[in-house]
Structure 1
Amino acid sequence: MKAVMFEKFQEAPRLVTAKDPAPQPDGVVLKVAATGVCRSDWHGWMGHDDDIDLPHVPGHELAGIVEAVGKDVTNWKVGDKVTVPFICGCGSCSECHAGQQQVCLHQEQPGFTHWGSFAEYVGIHQADLNLVALPDSMDFATAASLGCRFATSFRAVIDQGRVSAGQWIAIHGCGGVGLSAVMIAAAAGANVIGVDLDPAKLSLARELGAVAAIDGREADVPGAIRDITRGGAHVSLDALGHPVTMTNSILCLRPRGKHVQVGLMLGEHAAPAIPMPRIVGQEIQLLGSHGMQAHRYGAMLDMVSSGKLNPARLVGDRIALADAPQALMDMDKFQSVGATVITRF
């Protein structure tokens, strides 16, 4: 198969011919139809993830067709149209038994713990637990964005933030995750404020339902949010993953508000200073959000089918596999409006 591979961290990946994967007894092999280029992939290429063994094929936002099925798989057959959460549960640990596969104690992640979807084929383990059937009407580029950005945002807003109608929610960073969160929070009836440095992204945030947009270069972003909300946001998300956006997210909250950390903070930002006096004095809740379980996709897909959510609006550039190395290396320099998706292999 054709695949994008890197043999050393921070050195240019290249397009290679690699051996086709074979399904594990409990797994499947998918023919990749679309896969997103995500900032998490960039972190992996930089060497910020300890799970990666070299040489490595990145890619974790994917959708495709079941190509081969392991002998112990009962729920899936060749030809099924599917996606998969970027965190795949083991099915055996205490967290999986509790239905919390997103924090599985023995999780596997395509593109991190094993070769991923920047390739024509990818292997997925525990298929009966981890695969998600896709509607026939959904195109593969849209479906590829569900496994990381959109599903992660859905869980962050709905399950972790527990946003409700009429609440104020601030979204710091209007990239793929942030814009997804804007759309989802607006669909839930919240009053959404988008924060970003890019006017085009702020404009799209308004189109997706944000009632206000703030330039992140303002001298006092938390103060601006507290003014708009007359006291502070009920919920705030750091959708980027940076000490500045994290701090702004915490400081913009009203007493007993919820900060949800969605953006990864790795490398030099792995241990940021946290404004603890505000957290203690105003009883601020700090919550992490890490993907979403396969069994929760039904609620999200029902909102897509009903027209309340339209993830297709968040698909940006569609590129070829051969373009993926440059797109990956550029993730920390420039991000287009909408998700970049590999659709040609």
Structure 2
Amino acid sequence: MLADIASTGFSGAESGSVRIGDAVAVFAQGPIGICAAIGAKLMGASLVIGIDGDDARLRMAKRMGVDIALDYRTLDVVSEVKRLTSGGADVAIEALGSQDTFKNTLRCLRPGGTLSSLGVYSGKLNIPYDAFAAGIGDYRIVTTLCPEGKERMGRLMEVIRRKRVDLPPLLTHRVSLDNIHEGYRIFGERMDGVMKVAVEP
């Protein structure tokens, strides 16, 4: 989990250059999105807003430290993020990989804000130029995917060792190695509020 999910999620905040006092919106509250929110907190964000459409994921996001969890099924999340941040997020992180999510992530930024994309897009990604409020130069768009290496893993382990983050709640299900197919089924069908499945020998 550390080498993939935490590293990828944290990198969303790092690539977005989250600063002390920033307001950050994270679109998609799966394990990577939640780790992006945790990373933003570690870097000093004063407000972290998590957006999703799954009740279990929104509850987990709150449990893991997201300040405000928004349900896109019931709210105009772009307007709500702008209201909560008095004009737009400083950094918005896209952790899903869909065109609609990318568009909304871009639209919730303040002028001069940064969109940090962690999503893996299945096709061509269109950047909606109508989302740019005052010219194309006002926003910064960055991407990253699962940084690795000995030094990075050492740093992540240090954060865990010093109890700066608590990732075990993301392991919502456990299966034995003999029952690994059931674990894949639970995860693949997103059953029972699953976040991550631990396979135990």
TM over 0.5: yes
Q: Are 1:184 and 1:309, in contact at CA under 8 Å, matched by a contact in 2?
A: no
Q: Which is further off, 332-341 or 163-172?
A: 332-341
Structure 2 residues not aligned, in runs of 5+ = none
**Offset at 1:281?**
3.7
1:263 equivalenced with 2:89 (yes/no): no
CA 246–194 in structure 1, closer or farther in 2 if over 3 Å, else same: same
Aligned AA for 2:200? T
1:206 equivalenced with 2:62 (yes/no): yes
1:245 equivalenced with 2:101 (yes/no): yes
Residues 49-60 of structure 1: pairs in structure 2 closer than 5 A? none
- Matches of 1:334 and 1:300 in 2, distance apart? 27
1:343 equivalenced with 2:200 (yes/no): yes
Q: Provide the aligned C-alpha RMSD in A.
A: 2.0
CA 332–276 in structure 1, closer or farther in 2 if over 3 Å, else same: farther
Aligned AA for 2:37? V
TM-score (norm 2): 0.87
The residue aligned with 1:272 is: 125
**Offset at 1:217?**
1.2
Structure 1: 4+ residue segments shifted above 6 A: none
Aligned AA for 2:44? G
The residue aligned with 2:37 is: 182
Residues 1-345 of structure 1: pairs in structure 2 closer than 5 A? 145-158=1-14, 160-190=15-45, 191-266=47-122, 270-279=123-132, 280-281=135-136, 283-294=138-149, 295-328=151-184, 331=187, 333-334=189-190, 336-344=193-201
Structure 1 residues not aligned, in runs of 5+ = 1-144
TM-score (norm 1): 0.53
Q: Are 1:255 and 1:282, in contact at CA under 8 Å, matched by a contact in 2?
A: no
Instruction: Pick the structure with more helix per residue.
Output: 2
1:128-155 deviation digits (Å, cap 9, x = unpaired) = xxxxxxxxxxxxxxxxx11111111122
Q: Are 1:170 and 1:235, in contact at CA under 8 Å, matched by a contact in 2?
A: yes
- Matches of 1:337 and 1:151 in 2, distance apart? 20
CA 193–342 in structure 1, closer or farther in 2 if over 3 Å, else same: same
